Structure 1
Amino acid sequence: MKAQVFRGVNQLSYEEVPKPELGDDEVLVQVRVVGLCQSDIKKILYPLYEPPRIFGHETAGTIAAVGKDVKGWQVGQRVVVLHHIPCMHCDYCLNDNFSMCDVYKNITTSAGFTPSGGGFADYVKVPGHIVRHGGLMEIPDEITFEQASFVEPTNCCLKAVKKAQVQPGQTVLVTGAGPIGLMFVMLVKYFGGRAIATDLLPSRIAKAKEVGAEAAFDARDPELAQKIQALTNGMGVDTTLLAVPSDKAFFQALDCTRKGGKILFFAEFPDEVEIPINPNVLYRREIDLMGSYSSSYRLQNLAADIVFNKRIDVDALVSDRYPLKDLAAAVERAVKPTEETYKILIYPELG
């Protein structure tokens, strides 16, 4: 089979690799579409992992083979593959901190080499513990593979919205209107909140309004805080979701978030970035700072319900489609987006 093999920093090799061999409790999925995630891009562009590896995890496809001990799954079923499943019995899991679980973090879906997701290949192997514990989800007939590939990123965004306790009637500032920021806008609206978005690109500012933001502004606007105050009866927003790794965006969030409000870090910052802050700002204004990393096992079914019942318009997020052989070009497009670049999807079947 064909796969894009990570051979070193910014070195992808489109090559022939052996089709994964199945154990008795495993499932082989033919990849139909896989989303290009920011975490994939970081793994490809920075020295974070030893090669060789095959990345890709926002995967939807068709079951191509099942091990003899597999129950409840048959060849031909259309499925979403979820690459993270926690152990459910460690202290982290017992406190619903599933993404901190060692079993969760140890990715085991694989297309070869060290298991690393495996979606950037013709086929991906799903290990037994993921098969048995909800890591395969059947795709309804009326849902496309493209739409289904959004279940995992929807879960990640949903976890952040839930952690920030966004309530009906609240106003939420979303910094960054890329595919993640736009999904935040949709989810905030779905849960009854009012979204305000910021970005640097005029097209993304317009797109945010198109998908449901009540207002959207240029992040460089010197009157941003005043404009947001005007939209919130002088209070400021209830919550800010930081969807870009920018210290400037954080300080804007401090200016725009009301007393007693919340600021949630969703985007991962470079490790060398440090943000100086006077702790009295948090103390006197009672601002809650929090982070949200990856997805939540507890929210898998809700994320699937939101996508499969089209409660948000994931089709509006797709801008680019690339064959698997052109993954390097897709990464380049994501790093240097055009005015119209949002979510990029990859297709093994296109060659």
Structure 2
Amino acid sequence: MKAQVFRGVNQLVYEEVPTPEVAADEVLVQVRVVGLCQSDIKKIRYPLYEPPRIFGHETAGTIAAVGSAVQGWQVGDRVVVLHHIPCMHCAYCLNDNFSMCEVYKTITTTAGFAPSGGGFADYVKVPGHIVHHGGLIRIPADISFEQASFVEPTNCCLKAVKKAQIVPGQTVLITGAGPIGLMFIMLVKYFGARAIATDLIPSRIQKALDLGAEAAFDARDPDLPVKIQSLTGGLGVDTSLLAVPSPKAFFQALDCTRKGGKILFFAEFPDEVEIPINPNLLYRREIDLMGSYSSSYRVQALAADIVFNRRIDVDALISDRYPLRELSRAVEQAVAPTPDTYKILLYPDHG
């Protein structure tokens, strides 16, 4: 089979690799579409992992082989593949911190070499732990593979919305109107809250409005806090979701968040970034700072429901489609996006 093999920083080689063989409790999935995620880009462009590896994890496809001990699944079933399933019994899992679980963090879906997701290949092997504990989700007949590939990123955003306890009637500031920020806008609106978005690109500001933001502003607007105060009765927003890794965005959020409000870090910052802050700003205004990393097993079924019942418009997030052999070109576009670049999807060539 063909796969995009990570051979070093910024070195992707589209090459022939052995098709994985499945054990009795495993399943082999033919990849039909895989989303390009910012975490994939980070792994490709920085020396974080030893090569060779095959990345990719926002995967949807068709079951091509089933191990002899697998029950409930058969060849031809259309599925979403989740690359993270927690152990459910460690101290983190028992406190609903599933993304901190070591079993969760140890990726085991693979297309070869050290297991690393495996979606950037013709086929990906799903280990028994994931097969038997909810890591395969059946795709309804009326849902496309493209739409289904959004279940995992929807889970990640949904986890953050739930953690910030966003409820009807609240106002939420979303910094950044890329694919993640736009998904936040739709989820915030779905849960009955009002979304205000910021971005640097005019087309993304307009896109935010098109997808349901009550207001959207240029992030460089010096009057942004005043405008948000005007939209919120002089209070400020209840919650700010940082969908871009920008210290300026954080301080902007601090200026725009009401007393007693929350600021949630969703985008991952470079490790060398440090943000100096006077702790009395948090103390006197009772601002809660929190982070939300990856997905949550707890909201997995809800994420699938939201996508499969079209409660948000994931199709509106897709901007570009590439054959898998052009992954390098897709990465370059994601790193230097055009004004109309949002979510990029990739497709293996099965002939």
Q: TM-score range by the shorter chain?
A: over 0.9
Counterpart of 1:139, as a letter, is I
Aligned match of 1:234: 234
Counterpart of 1:270, as a letter, is P
Counterpart of 1:322, as a letter, is Y
Q: CA offset at residue 350 of structure 1? A: 6.9
Aligned match of 2:9: 9
The answer to whether residue 20 in structure 2 is matched with residue 20 in structure 1 is: yes
Counterpart of 2:135, as a letter, is G
Aligned match of 1:263: 263
Instruction: Quote the Cα distance in structure 2 between the aligned partners of 1:317 and 1:169.
Output: 25
Aligned match of 1:157: 157
Aligned alpha-carbon RMSD (Å): 0.6
Aligned match of 1:29: 29
Q: Is the 8 A contact 1:56 1:117 kept in 2?
A: yes
Instruction: Quote the Cα distance in structure 2 between the aligned partners of 1:336 and 1:23.
Output: 41
Q: CA offset at residue 349 of structure 1? A: 2.5
The 5 A counterparts of 1:261-340 are 261-340=261-340
Aligned match of 2:176: 176
Deviations 1:122-167, CA, capped at 9 Å, x for gaps: 0000000000000000000000000000000000000000000001
Instruction: Quote the Cα distance in structure 2 between the aligned partners of 1:270 and 1:340.
Output: 25
Counterpart of 1:39, as a letter, is S
Counterpart of 2:253, as a letter, is A
Q: Is the 8 A contact 1:320 1:343 kept in 2?
A: yes
Counterpart of 1:120, as a letter, is F
Aligned match of 1:75: 75
Deviations 1:209-232, CA, capped at 9 Å, x for gaps: 000000000000010000000000
Deviations 1:216-262, CA, capped at 9 Å, x for gaps: 00000010000000000000000000000000000000000000000
Instruction: Quote the Cα distance in structure 2 between the aligned partners of 1:310 and 1:90.
Output: 34
Aligned match of 2:252: 252
Instruction: Quote the Cα distance in structure 1 between the aligned partners of 2:267 and 2:335.
Output: 15
**Secondary structure of 1:349's match?**
coil
The answer to whether residue 128 in structure 2 is matched with residue 133 in structure 1 is: no
Q: Is the 8 A contact 1:323 1:348 kept in 2?
A: yes
Q: Is the 8 A contact 1:35 1:345 kept in 2?
A: yes
The answer to whether residue 66 in structure 2 is matched with residue 66 in structure 1 is: yes
Q: Is the 8 A contact 1:173 1:241 kept in 2?
A: yes
Pair 1:20–1:233, CA change in 2 (3 A): same
Instruction: Quote the Cα distance in structure 1 between the aligned partners of 2:140 and 2:350.
Output: 23
Deviations 1:59-114, CA, capped at 9 Å, x for gaps: 00000000000000000000000000000000000000000000000000000000
Question: TM-score w.r.t. structure 2 length?
Answer: 1.00
Q: Is the 8 A contact 1:85 1:103 kept in 2?
A: yes
The 5 A counterparts of 1:182-221 are 182-221=182-221
Instruction: Quote the Cα distance in structure 2 between the aligned partners of 1:110 and 1:300.
Output: 21
Q: CA offset at residue 117 of structure 1? A: 0.1
Aligned match of 1:43: 43
Deviations 1:314-339, CA, capped at 9 Å, x for gaps: 00000000000000000000000001
**Secondary structure of 2:72's match?**
coil
Instruction: Quote the Cα distance in structure 2 between the aligned partners of 1:282 and 1:48.
Output: 33
Runs of 4+ deviating beyond 2 Å: none
Counterpart of 1:221, as a letter, is D
Q: Is the 8 A contact 1:323 1:350 kept in 2?
A: no
The 5 A counterparts of 1:109-120 are 109-120=109-120
Give unpaired runs (5+ residues) of structure 2. none
Instruction: Quote the Cα distance in structure 1 between the aligned partners of 2:327 and 2:242.
Output: 27
**Secondary structure of 1:326's match?**
helix
Q: Is the 8 A contact 1:324 1:350 kept in 2?
A: no
Q: Is the 8 A contact 2:122 2:350 kept in 1?
A: no
